[in-house]
Structures are given as C-alpha cells and as structure tokens.
Amino acid sequence: MLRCSVFLALGALIALSGCAKTGSPPGGPVDEDPPWVVSTDPVDGAVDVPVDSGMFVLFSEEMDRASVERAIDITPETTLKTAGWRGPRLEIRTAEDLSDSTTYVVRLGDGIRDYHSVAADTAVMFAFSTGSAIDDCAVTGTVTTDGEPAVGATVWACAASPQPDSLGVVSRCGASAITASGGYFAIGYLNPVRSPYSLVAFLDSDADGAYSPREEAGTIVFDAATFAAPGDTVRGLDLALEPPADASAQPRGEPTLGGPTAGGTTTPQSGDVPDHHPPSAEPEEQE
C-alpha cells in the first residue's frame, strides 16, 4: 500500500511538471526600448579641448557595433584611426591630432541600433571646440523637387566653392544635414569668418555620399549664406532641385552647376542660435 502511494505521488508530480507555464520567454522579456546616449566626452559645448583628445559616447545598453561605426560622421571631415568598444562605451580616435581653434561636430546618423536590433529614436550629436569658443552661425531653409518638399535630401554648407572632379562628381565639402518633414533643413556650428557658404542639395539615390549631377536631382547655390557676426542665422532659403542632366546631351564631367538662386534670405540677427545649438529640425510657424 505504501509503495502504491509513492508511485501515485510521483505520477502527480510528473503530470504537474508537464503543464504549460505562463510568463516571460527564456532569457527575460523582449527588449523593445530604444537605446539612448547617457553621456559624451567631450560634453556638448565644451571648449579648449586638447587636440590629442579622443571622443567617447556612452550608450544606455550594448549596441550593434557595426551599425554605430557605419554611422559615425565628424565635421570637419576627419580620418578615423580606430573605433573601439568597452561594453556600451564607444571610443573614437582620429588618425592625426585635431586642428587647433576648430569646432568639431560629431554625429551618429540614421540606422544605429542596439544589440537586439532596436533602432534609436533620437539623433546623436554633440559639438566641441579646440579653441575658446564654439562656432554658432546657422543656415535654414527648405528643399523642393518639382514643387514638392524633398524629404531625405542631403544638404551641404561649404565654405569652399564646390567643384566637380574629372567625372563630374561633387564630393562632400562641408557640414551636412538631411531634410526632414516639409523638406526642412538646418545646419549649425558654422564659422562667420569662413562665409559666404555655398549650399549643395541633392537626392543621393545611390547612397554614395557624393553628388552626381548627371544621375541625381540636385542644385548648387554659390555664396548662399553670409554671416556678419557670431550667432547669426540665415533663414528661409529655398533650394529647388534640378532633374539629372541628360546623359546624351551633356558629357560626363560637365555637370550643370548653379541652379536657381536661393530666395527668402533674411537679414542675419545675432543670438538666433542660443546655447551653441543649431535651430530645431522643425519648420517655424508662419505668422
């Protein structure tokens, strides 16, 4: 009788252990929270940063490292030596010392995501200077194509005149932005001493980071933004993209430059970009 009771008890335990269990899947709950930046070094707005400094970004969690490394963008263009990791902390080292008395802007573009492939929902950007002040001029406007807002267009603000190479391709020549809703763009941290700035706007259809007038809609407006003093902002530029040049009518290496003249330039006013930050990436309300 005792032996039967033992077998019955064991059978009940086995039956219970086979029942379905509710709760989180193995490994814990699914990660759906987007990653965010805990801190940067140098901090945003730092000045007198040593020229041999590295740049550090601490994320809230482990990242998909390849997605972050592909998205690193530094203005002025800088050759990277290494991009190393220690847990969620990214270290960026340049091949050479930074330039003296220069404002640097570090961006981590679209596509960065965490270890579980959850994309970041806010842009990562910080600026610092190896001199005593941050460049704080800015230019804003809209980009259109066929009269409609061009969302996702690339815009460069170039202190040097953009020039095509022997194949007619224009390489990046300055600070950049991607147009947002309504075709709106804002580029900050510009140096008034280096103005006037020319603007290049185009649809980077082949995602090569260069403007090919023969194959991509775009425009170049020379000397579009002039700043009279630190803190000035040129607002309301309208950049209308021209269609790609006709390959049969125009040889490669002779792209159409210039495009329509930018309109709506307002008189720059000091103090339009507070706290060394570029204007918001949202269009201003119209009165």
Mean pLDDT of 33-47: 95
pLDDT of residue 251: 43
Q: Are strands 89-94 and 148-149 parallel, antiparallel or unpaired?
A: unpaired
Of 253 and 154, more confident: 154
Q: Is the same domain home to 41 and 157?
A: no
Q: Is the same domain home to 111 and 191?
A: no
Residues 199 and 14: their CA atoms lie apart, in Å, by: 74
Residues 152 and 216: their CA atoms lie apart, in Å, by: 13
Residues 221 and 199: their CA atoms lie apart, in Å, by: 5
Position 286 in a domain? no
For residues 197 and 229, is the Cβ–Cβ distance under 8 A?
no
Q: Is the same domain home to 260 and 144?
A: yes
For residues 215 and 206, is the Cβ–Cβ distance under 8 A?
yes
**Listed residues 75, 98, 129: the one ending a domain:** 129
Give the pTM: 0.73
Q: Is the same domain home to 120 and 146?
A: no
Which of 59, 96, 49, 58 has its CA nearest to residue 77?
96
Residue 86 belongs to a domain with what CATH number? 2.60.40.3710
- Residue 117 exposed, middle or buried by CB count within 10 Å (0-12, 13-18, 19+): exposed
Q: Is the same domain home to 149 and 197?
A: yes
Q: Is the same domain home to 165 and 83?
A: no
pLDDT of residue 2: 47
pLDDT of residue 7: 45
Q: What does the block give as tokens for 89?
A: 């902390």
Q: Is the pLDDT reported for residue 282 higher than 80?
A: no
How many domains is the chain partitioned into structurally?
Answer: 2
Which of 169, 142, 170, 232 has its CA nearest to residue 196?
232
Query: Which range of residues forms the domain containing residue 232?
Result: 137-264
Q: Is the same domain home to 70 and 174?
A: no
Q: Is the same domain home to 141 and 260?
A: yes
Q: Is the same domain home to 52 and 122?
A: yes
Of 267 and 148, more confident: 148
Position 13 in a domain? no
Q: What does the block give as tokens for 193?
A: 């001493």
Position 223 in a domain? yes
Percentage of residues in the chain having pLDDT higher than 70: 75
Q: Is the same domain home to 143 and 68?
A: no
**C-beta atoms surrounding 84 within 10 Å:** 14
Helix (H) or strand (E) holding 125: strand 124-129
Residue 148 belongs to a domain with what CATH number? 2.60.40.2070
- DSSP 8-state assignment for residue 5: H
pLDDT tens, residue by residue, 63-86? 999 999 999 999 998 898 888 999
* Average predicted confidence (pLDDT) for the chain: 82
Q: Is the same domain home to 118 and 141?
A: no
pLDDT tens, residue by residue, 10-33? 454 444 444 444 444 555 666 679
Of 9 and 81, more confident: 81
- Phi (first) and psi of residue 5, to 5 degrees: -65, -40
pLDDT tens, residue by residue, 155-209? 999 999 999 999 999 999 999 999 999 999 999 999 999 999 999 999 999 999 9
pLDDT of residue 123: 79
In the chain, what is the straight-line distance between the N-terminal and C-terminal CA atoms, in Å? 93
Q: In the block, which residue shows the tokens 């006013």?
A: 269
| pLDDT-derived band at 109, boundaries 50, 70, 90 | confident
Span of 144-148, 173-177, 243-247, 273-277 with lowest mean pLDDT: 273-277
